[in-house]
């Protein structure tokens, strides 16, 4: 069915899949003996163009920019050539990069340290250039506080507008939790709308939303957030409704409830039962669990399905984040024992 309705999706999805790094390649990079070794391994992947720009002196933040810049250009170009309903969903997802820039501006404003000059230095302009949306951040930088920023987002009809307003109200009623409230609520602004995309895209976004809600719930317990704040930050979908109810329980009871979840179960079965450890390994476990999930979506729905398009886009994005993290570990020359502990769920 999908090959008839969307014949142009398949080749693009296959292209993303072909560029993914294998698990063996990732494992080899984790245990790189030096930055030169890492660069040599990177040159054998779809990131080879970046390998040519890195030397042993290149700091992690620069490498992260190179990796993320390559991926966002690649994925935005792919999204722009998709059928309308798929293109809209993928572009909604990729606006997460712009939301990261908005979060950086809000962070400065909320801390009372905002100046346009300081904000311009914090913004990752290569995201805006890749998305063709530099004008958005240029306009937002004319705001002097969070309330004015929300007004400008409204004027631009930006998808983050309503979420920022909710965050402002929540932060004013819960002083001391500003940063986590703004960061988490703005993350909802690119993720939650994906649940409203045309079928079958929500089968992928629902997996992503479940991870978001698990992350919010466990960090709420770790950081001792007031229960009403934790509940307000969660997306009322999937596992979220049950986790909202269970926020009144202690951490061991919540972990017991999550023991059957594919993300949390892997952490618990590896011997990490403390809340702080579970939170520490959540993102690595999510990457491995999501990689398996994305593969199952592709196998069941074929590469011509809109769900497969989102599945591969998110997987490529997650891979870029993991790769940036691995380079940071290699660049800092972390001992093998530390690397084994950090990436146990990825290498086992």
Q: What is the pLDDT of residue 84?
A: 86
Per-residue pLDDT of 21-34, as tens digits, reads 999 999 999 999 99
* pLDDT for residue 6 is more than 70: no
Reported as a pLDDT band with limits 50, 70 and 90, residue 5 is low
Burial of 153 (0-12, 13-18, 19+ CB in 10 A): buried
Angstrom CA distances, 322 to 188, 257, 276, 296, 315, stand at: 21, 28, 20, 21, 10
For the chain, the average pLDDT equals 94
Per-residue pLDDT of 183-206, as tens digits, reads 999 999 999 999 999 889 999 999
* pLDDT for residue 69 is more than 90: yes
Angstrom CA distances, 30 to 13, 275, 277, 280, 330, stand at: 27, 25, 20, 18, 7
Per-residue pLDDT of 203-228, as tens digits, reads 999 999 999 999 999 999 999 999 99
Q: Which of 108, 112, 155, 117 is nearest to 136 (CA)?
A: 155
Q: Count how many residues are written for the chain.
A: 348
User: Residues 174-190, buried b or exposed e (16+ Cβ, 10 A)?
Assistant: beebbebbbbbbbbbbb
Low-confidence winner among 33-37, 127-131, 323-327 (lowest mean pLDDT): 127-131
Per-residue pLDDT of 134-155, as tens digits, reads 999 999 999 999 999 999 999 9
Q: Hey, how many other C-beta atoms are within 10 angstroms of the C-beta on 333?
A: 9
């Amino acid at each position: 069915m999908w090959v008839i309705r969307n014949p142009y999706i398949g080749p693009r999805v296959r292209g993303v899949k072909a560029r993914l790094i294998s698990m063996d390649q990732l494992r080899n990079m984790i245990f790189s003996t030096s930055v030169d070794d890492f660069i040599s391994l990177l040159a054998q992947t779809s990131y080879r163009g970046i390998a040519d720009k890195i030397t042993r002196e290149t700091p992690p933040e620069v490498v992260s920019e190179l990796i993320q810049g390559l991926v966002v250009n690649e994925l935005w170009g792919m999204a722009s050539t998709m059928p309308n309903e798929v293109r809209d969903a993928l572009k909604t997802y990729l606006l997460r990069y712009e939301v990261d820039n908005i979060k950086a501006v809000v962070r400065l404003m909320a801390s009372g340290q905002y100046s346009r000059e300081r904000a311009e230095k914090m913004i990752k302009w290569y995201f805006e250039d890749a998305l063709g949306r530099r004008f958005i951040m240029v306009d937002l930088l004319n705001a002097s506080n969070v309330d004015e920023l929300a007004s400008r987002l409204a004027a631009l009809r930006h998808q983050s507008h309503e979420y920022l307003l909710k965050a402002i109200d929540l932060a004013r009623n819960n002083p001391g939790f500003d940063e986590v409230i703004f960061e988490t609520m703005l993350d909802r602004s690119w993720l939650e709308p994906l649940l409203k995309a045309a079928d079958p895209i929500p089968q992928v976004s629902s997996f992503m939303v479940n991870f978001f809600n698990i992350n919010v719930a466990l960090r709420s317990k770790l950081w001792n957030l007031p229960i009403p704040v934790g509940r307000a930050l969660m997306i009322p979908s999937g596992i979220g409704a049950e986790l909202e109810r269970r926020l009144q329980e202690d951490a061991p009871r919540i972990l017991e409830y999550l023991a059957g979840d594919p993300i949390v179960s892997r952490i618990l079965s590896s011997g990490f039962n403390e809340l702080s450890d579970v939170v520490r390994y959540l993102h690595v476990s999510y990457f491995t669990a999501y990689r398996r999930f994305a593969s199952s979506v592709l196998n069941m729905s074929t590469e011509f399905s809109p769900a497969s398009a989102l599945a591969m886009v998110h997987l490529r994005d997650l891979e870029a984040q993991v790769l940036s993290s691995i380079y940071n570990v290699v660049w800092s020359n972390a001992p093998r024992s530390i690397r084994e502990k950090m990436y146990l769920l990825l290498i086992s």
